Amino acid sequence: MSSQPSDPLAAVDALLAAVEAGHLLPAPAERVRLREAAGLTQAAVAQALGVRIPSIQAWEEGRAEPKPERLQAYRRLLEGLSARYPAPAAHSTALTETVDPPAAATAASPAADRPDPNTVSPTTVGPSAALSSATVAETAARPAATSRRPAARRGAKPATTAADPRFPHGPLVVLDGDGSAYGVDGIVLDCPATTMVELVEWTLKESGLGAPRLNRNGKDSDPLVVLTASAAVKLGLPERLEGREERRSLRLADDHPVVQQIARAKWQLTQRGFGPWPRIYRKAQGSARQCVQLAVLSWDALDTRAWPAVTDMAPADIARVLGVYAQRVITPRGSTAVSGLELMTALRPPTRAVHESGTWVSGYNPGSLGSEPMDPAPPEAIAEHPVVVNSGWNGGFLNEEAYQWVRDPALLSDEECLLPYAVGLDLNTAFLAAAARLTVGLSAPDHFHRPVFNKKIPGSWLADLSHLDLDPRLPSPFTPDGTRPTGPAWYQTHTLAYAQELGHDVHPIEAYLRRETGAYLDPWHDRLKTAYIDTLADLGVAADLTDAEFLAAMEHHKQTDPAMAAVLAAIKATVKGGIGKLRERPQGRTYRDGDPWPAMQRPTWRPDIRAAVISKARVNMHRKLTNMVKLSGLHPLAVLSDCVVYPSPGASPLDFLPYDASGKPLTGGFRLGPTPGLAKLEGVQEMSWAVDLMEKGLNPARHIKGGDAVLDDGE
């Protein structure tokens, strides 16, 4: 029997009184829309209201409501945002298509990928919202194409986000040789193009492809057309890049007919030319941006390490994989590393529109990295950098890298050697977890001598930690190889702060510090964390599983849905690759030390931010290792980046992880779960196998999975 109120009239009166008093809040979905429209993270709202992030999450999911002391403040925030960002239904289509002044100053792509800013308008207006009647008729009349739509999977979350009338057919299509263009959610369009120029014009004028900006100061994503091998051949491209010059440069020669065709039609290519990820653009007409991103599958546009098995899928399934990634992360613009870096800029555009003297001008967007590259401090750079070569710097460099450590076999106890198993634990997206609420420098570094250490200031510090005596059965938290420091060295702020946390005095000799700081990576972290958790949930790995259920689900999750498993792999590659791109090294056999290279000429070439993420990740790992000793008395056998191997009495992490009497995991050590920073099973081997590798000087964590995995630090 359903529960009924004892006095319905009184309950209705109470509800009306709450409405009259303004105590009711917008629906949960509207709360999310307002926050995201303003570009605010859950962390920022939580900090402003003086609550924890889970409280904001609960309010936005409708699982809880604010307590009276927070209700009015939260309602005031939502009312203020509602005034600034009315619901989309309140806008006419004409208003949607007009130029938004704050979008006049938009995010810049990396130098090697972006069109000439003098020839491409920064303001984006999407293509026509409707296909021509002929295209619609031809699509409907072709059952062979539409029959290949992927079936909806029961229980999976829909891939689509809120519809944008400018982009009715989603962010991308996969074009096959018969003219079928497969989009998200089973959409199949007819593309009549037979030349590259016709394809570009169809994409911009008829396809209805694109994606809305991720930040109000940013730009909409250009439409992406992915070409299968047959489509590439149909459009005049070679199925594979052939010839020595093409293989060396990974692009078509300038005299190739397709490149010449593009030039004759007054279209342009970016500095990278026509390679696996070409961008074709033309000077904007009015306010409309004219740029199309292509990806050529048969030219290895999708690296199999980041997109496992995707190139072997049918076009409709490829569209599903890339479409989910585009809607949860970003429309791909290159490798997952490039996309990871582009996502940072899309969420934190370098500029915004500023109203001055009656007109809109481009100005610095607070919290971003700005639009101009910034020289690093000498110890933050690499040996090839002009700052180092031109100054003759020989004072050493930051060595903030991921762990590669193996315990000395002589320190193994008899009890450990007699245990039957070695079990590897892997931390979920450890770099992403480290990026959460990470304060980084936003301004140029200033040099200080004999500074007083302050753990709140991001930078690089020269200090001597060689005198610190730590447990030799654990890796040193101050060096990537886990050995004890031998003298003064440069450390990122988090590393020195951890030395303080361990009870040691820290007296820096000198430092390069940044006065302007901010949590630049917060939106990046929040979006990728959500994408990771949602994709795992689609694979049957939900957050509410018990530890035993979690291990069982992880054992088979990749077989649940190969397409979503590929999305998950791409998200993880985006995290590591994006962090790695912050210190991209020069490439090419002709490079000379001291010469500038393309990557270092973009604002996102920030080795200090990369060092901050890795330093925090390594400190987080050591903190867990230390707590495991306190909670269980266990010491690790080896650590490799985010993987740690422990001796175990059983073949499961449940046999050695610490739990209380009620079966609840103890805080501080390693815990199982699907969220970033929690652990999953990496692999199990016999203890004798691990000891044998250790005696040979090899790292068991590298091979615990049963293969020959190598360290992937994202570069």
pLDDT digits (tens, 9 = 90+) for 144-169: 333 333 433 333 444 444 468 889 99
Reading the block at residue 637, the tokens are 């056998």
Q: Are the C-beta atoms of residues 353 and 101 closer than 8 Å to each other? A: yes
For residue 39, give its domain range: 9-90
Which pLDDT score is estimated for 707?
Answer: 59
Write down the H helix ranges in 458-561.
493-501, 522-538, 547-560
Rounded-to-integer distance, Cα 462 and Cα 507, Å: 9
In this structure, the answer to whether residues 272 and 183 fall within a common structural domain is yes
pLDDT digits (tens, 9 = 90+) for 407-422: 999 999 999 999 999 9
Rounded-to-integer distance, Cα 581 and Cα 341, Å: 7
Reading the block at residue 167, the tokens are 């982009």
In this structure, the answer to whether residues 60 and 125 fall within a common structural domain is no
Phi, psi (deg, nearest 5) at residue 600: -75, -5
Which pLDDT score is estimated for 3?
Answer: 44
Which of 328, 346, 364 is the C-terminal boundary of a domain? 364
Number of domains in the chain: 2
Which of 344, 364, 384 is the C-terminal boundary of a domain? 364
In this structure, the answer to whether residues 14 and 157 fall within a common structural domain is no
In this structure, the answer to whether residues 54 and 106 fall within a common structural domain is no
In the sheet that holds 679-686, the strands lie side by side as 404-406, 638-640, 643-648, 421-427, 679-686
Q: Is residue 583 part of a domain?
A: no
Q: Give me the CATH number covering residue 40.
A: 1.10.260
For the chain, list residues with pLDDT below 50: 1-5, 90-162, 247-248, 709-715
In this structure, the answer to whether residues 151 and 266 fall within a common structural domain is yes
Number of H helices, E strands in the chain: 24, 20
Give the SS3 label for residue 657. Answer: coil
In this structure, the answer to whether residues 292 and 355 fall within a common structural domain is yes
Q: For tokens 């401090």, name the residue.
A: 377
In this structure, the answer to whether residues 152 and 78 fall within a common structural domain is no
Rounded-to-integer distance, Cα 547 and Cα 155, Å: 22
Rounded-to-integer distance, Cα 683 and Cα 693, Å: 15
- 3-state helix/strand/coil string of 238-291: CCCCCCHHHHHHCCCCCCCHHHHHHHHCCCEECCCCCCCCCEEEEEEECCEEEE
Nearest to 199 by CA among 234, 166, 242: 234
Q: Are the C-beta atoms of residues 568 and 532 closer than 8 Å to each other? A: yes
Rounded-to-integer distance, Cα 64 and Cα 56, Å: 9
**pTM check: above 0.85:** no
Buried b (16+ CB within 10 A) or exposed e, 556-588: ebbebbbbbbbbbbbbbbbbbbbbbbbbbebee
In this structure, the answer to whether residues 226 and 334 fall within a common structural domain is yes
Which of 44, 60, 90 is the C-terminal boundary of a domain? 90
Q: Is residue 74 part of a domain?
A: yes
Nearest to 513 by CA among 579, 581, 456: 456
Q: Is residue 568 part of a domain?
A: no
Rounded-to-integer distance, Cα 80 and Cα 535, Å: 33
Q: Is residue 627 part of a domain?
A: no
Which pLDDT score is estimated for 711?
Answer: 44
In this structure, the answer to whether residues 60 and 147 fall within a common structural domain is no
In this structure, the answer to whether residues 126 and 220 fall within a common structural domain is yes
Which pLDDT score is estimated for 446?
Answer: 97
Q: Is residue 83 part of a domain?
A: yes
Q: Which amino acid is at 473?
A: R
| Cβ neighbours around 114 below 10 Å, total | 18
In this structure, the answer to whether residues 55 and 157 fall within a common structural domain is no
Q: Is residue 350 part of a domain?
A: yes
Write down the H helix ranges in 329-482.
336-347, 386-391, 414-418, 430-435
What is the residue-averaged pLDDT of the chain? 86
Which pLDDT score is estimated for 159?
Answer: 44
Helix axes 53-61, 28-37, angle to 10 degrees: 120
In this structure, the answer to whether residues 175 and 30 fall within a common structural domain is no
Q: Are the C-beta atoms of residues 217 and 349 closer than 8 Å to each other? A: yes
Give the SS3 label for residue 459. Answer: strand
Q: Is residue 130 part of a domain?
A: yes
Rounded-to-integer distance, Cα 541 and Cα 535, Å: 9
Q: Is residue 159 part of a domain?
A: yes
